[in-house]
Structure 1
Amino acid sequence: MELINFSRNSVSTKEELRELIGEPHELVIKKSVSILDDQCKRFISMSPLLFLSTSDAEGKCDVSPRGDQAGSVIILNKHQLVIPDRPGNKRQDSNLNILSNPHVGLIFIIPGLEEVLRINGRAMLIKDKEILNKMALKGNIPLLGIGVDVEECFVHCSRPLKESNIWKPETWQTPETLPSASEIFHAHLKINGVELKKES
């Protein structure tokens, strides 16, 4: 299939974008705050899932889901929070990006709630034992934490989650129709020239 040249019919300037979409309402602009107020703190404390968006120095982006017990993200003060970096597959995509570009975006999700909390700021990998000890899980203390200096917080409207019906089990696909993570994993290995033998 021939690749499509997106640039042939693209929006390339801020002026063109605004002419097409229009300007946001004043309230949409002013809902953004630069501190973790009591409402943000409460939301974060009840969220067991967040998405961490990073990019490297060249602007190549990555988004990583971070699932944990609600309350695992530590709020230090009105301007700083820390995300525990639990053991994983050691790719370290997010952390390597943070080392070259500190700008991060976070989305916090609470099951059953259709609004999400968005936070933007600057991150740093920390080894502060006093903080890390507070994030122990089942006796295991994380080796690293992702400390975030918060620059912007705001609640995002419910439309995406509402329209997706994400919290309505009756709309979910049946388990047997869902993509198999194992099949995807093996297929992608094969594309890269690695084929694992199936166990007999």
Structure 2
Amino acid sequence: MELINFSTDAITSEEEVRELVGTPHEYVVKKSIPVLDEHCKRFIEMSPLYFLSTSNAEGQCDVSPKGDFPCGIQILNNKQLVIPDRPGNRRVDSIINILSNPHIGLLFLIPGLEEVLRINGRATIIKKPELLNNMSLNGKPPLLGIGVDIEECFIHCSRALKKSKVWNTDSWPNTEDLPSWLDIFHAALEHNGVEVKR
């Protein structure tokens, strides 16, 4: 397989980007606020699914889906919230990234709603029992939490979810011909030289 050299005739400056796409309307720029207002708080409280974006000090990125019961995130005030780190596969990619680079992005979804809430800020890995004990699930508090100091919040337009028809079950593809998650998992292990007993 021959790789494409993406750097050939690539865009390398914001000026070049702006020449092609133009500038955003004033309303689009000024919809961003540095605090959680009541609308943002309510959006987070109703969201059972969100995505956490992090990168390490070298700029290697990761986006991790997080599912929790609505109101699973603790909103402390209009500038801070805490995300519980529920037990999982122990990779803790996001946690490790935050240790070397605190900048994070969050994307919140509400089932059936085509708009999303975006939040950017700085994160700290916390273990304060007085905060984590309030976030128990099935009687178990998280061992760690992600404290977020909020820098930017804004509602994102519905174009992506509307065009993808993600909430329209009639448009969902038939997944019977797709490999199972276990098939994909085993294939990745074998790619890395692990012998898998089937």
What is the TM-score when the length of structure 1 is the normalising length? 0.97
Q: 1:65 maps to what in 2?
A: 65
Q: 1:102 maps to what in 2?
A: 102
* RMSD value, Cα: 0.7
- The alignment partner of 1:7 has SS state of coil
Q: 1:134 maps to what in 2?
A: 134
Tell me how far 1:131 sits from its aligned partner: 1.0
User: Which aligned segments of 4 or more residues in structure 1 are displaced greater than 3 angstroms?
Assistant: none
Tell me how far 1:46 sits from its aligned partner: 0.1
Aligned residue identity for 2:39:
Q
Q: 1:194 maps to what in 2?
A: 194
- The alignment partner of 1:177 has SS state of coil
Tell me how far 1:175 sits from its aligned partner: 3.7
1:18 and 1:175 mapped to 2: Cα distance? 40
Tell me how far 1:174 sits from its aligned partner: 2.3
Superposed, 1:134-153 pairs within 5 Å as 134-153=134-153
2:62 and 2:129 mapped to 1: Cα distance? 28
Gaps of 5+ in 2: none
Q: 2:5 maps to what in 1?
A: 5
Aligned residue identity for 1:66:
K
Tell me how far 1:159 sits from its aligned partner: 0.4
Aligned residue identity for 1:11:
I
Q: 2:86 maps to what in 1?
A: 86
- The alignment partner of 2:33 has SS state of coil
Gaps of 5+ in 1: none
What is the TM-score when the length of structure 2 is the normalising length? 0.98
Provide the aligned length of Structure 1 versus Structure 2.
198
List per-residue Cα deviations over 1:101-136 (Å, max 9, x = no partner): 000000000000000000000000111111101100
| Identity of matched residues, % | 65
2:163 and 2:180 mapped to 1: Cα distance? 25
Tell me how far 1:180 sits from its aligned partner: 1.4
Aligned residue identity for 1:186:
H
List per-residue Cα deviations over 1:51-86 (Å, max 9, x = no partner): 000000000000000000000001000100000000
Aligned residue identity for 1:30:
K
Q: 2:176 maps to what in 1?
A: 176
2:5 and 2:175 mapped to 1: Cα distance? 37
2:19 and 2:61 mapped to 1: Cα distance? 28
Aligned residue identity for 1:142:
P
Aligned residue identity for 1:62:
D
